[in-house]
Structure 1
């Protein structure tokens, strides 16, 4: 079987100023000149860090709430998004009604989704899709916003503390194990931990490895707002943080939350063969290919962080090639 290419990107936040720009520009605008990179992959997955809805009221007392017009589902369609991870700390920013509206919009657009739903069963249900003859499943969880945890008969997110000793984490492992028996490749999206910090937390390392041992091939992390290193483990890979891909956030000049990558994972059978990193930067509310000087700096930082995790990195085609 020929290797397939799955493009993973970090947080996609289409609310606030991005939403305002989208009322005057094309649906392709947020993707900038990175769109051809995304379309060249066989599948594309993003963490949707907002709700797409025209209804709802801001969550009481929440400082940062992100909503984009429902019509902006066409932005995701323009990138031919295969699946969206919805388990995060913004999907319920405008309440249950807005969440329900977005779920319907994604379903109508044919975009697979995981991590949030009308009840716990729906929130924990893996999103299934086929890529080049390979059957895949996306399971999406978060350890943010415990009050949003979906329950039987109640909408919310698939909330799982990042603690292998927690019964909910054990349940996640069982779900991964069961799903891995039905598909060729399981991807676990984990919106985990607090913001900032370029190295993975010890609990993330333990959790990521445990999920690969349970049968996942890719653990796809985000939440930190910046990119972290990648670790290969038992034929799979842990992307500890994919950073921010599109948003309107203030830029931290030290952490550089405006800089990220397209992480193109090469799956050969059900093993991760290599990962190609294409450097990107957010400019004027859109993702753009980094210029050569910036790209070199981004790649050197990532090479260093990956080396700490035992991952080989080679500079190639203006980006990085990661190898076990």
Structure 2
């Protein structure tokens, strides 16, 4: 029997603006160094890269935006040194610095051996999945984003793998098509990354829940969501995990006193031969452009909140050895 595989999922990694300043002042590793031992201990750490890696100053040529995020290309080394092996680029900031910024990002990630999916020089590249080997086991990921439609890649233009999600039948068909090359490549653990839904909502919308179920039904083993900037509860559907929103791993965003978006989580998914073993939740705290292990007070708030959110989705999260853990039988009856 193969040993358990450990995948760690983080939410958005935004290394631009004030986080960029931290990197330039205190060293490129400063934003992630406090959690890098946990990331490196996993077989693969996976995040949504919510910025370009570029020195280009040319911003997106389309409709003006409020926020533009770019990190120095040296951030690629920081990501690799932190243990991040795979990133999603299907989000609403990958083209903030236009086609040149995306090209620089792709080149930088390739130079540091970080697999990526969800954006590219054309639609075929954007749809092409990322695959990493964890020993003899392959983990693969495809990625879609449901907003910033003007970032959509075409057959002859760079961009992201944009996908409208309100036509649920068409979206489910796209999920099935995206899975096919991973199956053909012998990937045991396919991950569907979805940058979906609005910011700072506290629970997934009903149509997103239906789509997540449909993704599992067509064969995806893990649904990995992000975009809300705060974490949502976890649902186990047919024994497989749906991480509706993994929040942010590092950013410089203003803190909402009610949503506490500086209180975040890392999601460690343990996989057996062909089954989910458990999910271990690691509480973290974002302060001044750095992510840190949460202290006792922060951890208590995070765990209490997460237990309630999971309960709303029919999942029981229990404390085990000081960490919050979800196991495959962790379902609670709905009233």
TM superposition score category, shorter chain reference? over 0.9
1:19 partner SS: helix
* Residues 176/163 of structure 1: CA separation in 2 closer, same or farther (3 Å cut): farther
Give the aligned CA root-mean-square deviation in angstroms. 1.4
Size of the aligned set, in residue pairs, is: 324
1:295 partner SS: helix
Taking the TM superposition and a 5 Å limit, the aligned residue runs for 1:89-100 are 89-100=92-103
- 1:314 maps to what in 2? 318
Deviates more, 1:164-173 or 1:45-54: 164-173
2:126 partner SS: helix
Q: 2: CA distance between counterparts of 1:187 and 1:163?
A: 21
Contact 2:118–2:161 (CA<8 Å) still a contact in 1? Answer: yes
> Residue by residue, what CA displacement relative to the aligned partner does 1:126-177 show, whole Å, maximum 9, x if unpaired?
1011113211111111101111111112110001122353535412222224
> Which residue among 179, 199, 224 is the counterpart of 2:203?
199
- 1:160 maps to what in 2? 163
* Residues 133/170 of structure 1: CA separation in 2 closer, same or farther (3 Å cut): same
- 2:11 maps to what in 1? 10
> Which residue among 253, 258, 282 is the counterpart of 1:254?
258
- 1:265 maps to what in 2? 269
Q: Is the aligned partner of 1:67 residue 2:86?
A: no
> Residue by residue, what CA displacement relative to the aligned partner does 1:236-277 show, whole Å, maximum 9, x if unpaired?
110010001101110011111111111000111232221100
Deviation (angstroms), 1:180: 3.2
Q: 2: CA distance between counterparts of 1:207 and 1:42?
A: 28
- 2:115 maps to what in 1? 112
Deviation (angstroms), 1:26: 2.5
1:62 partner SS: coil
2:94 partner SS: coil
Q: Which residues of structure 1 form unaligned runs of 5+?
A: none
Q: Is the aligned partner of 1:123 residue 2:161?
A: no
Deviation (angstroms), 1:318: 3.2
> Which residue among 293, 296, 301 is the counterpart of 1:292?
296
Taking the TM superposition and a 5 Å limit, the aligned residue runs for 1:131-210 are 131-163=134-166, 165-181=168-184, 182-210=186-214
TM-score by structure 2 length?
0.93
Q: 2: CA distance between counterparts of 1:178 and 1:58?
A: 34
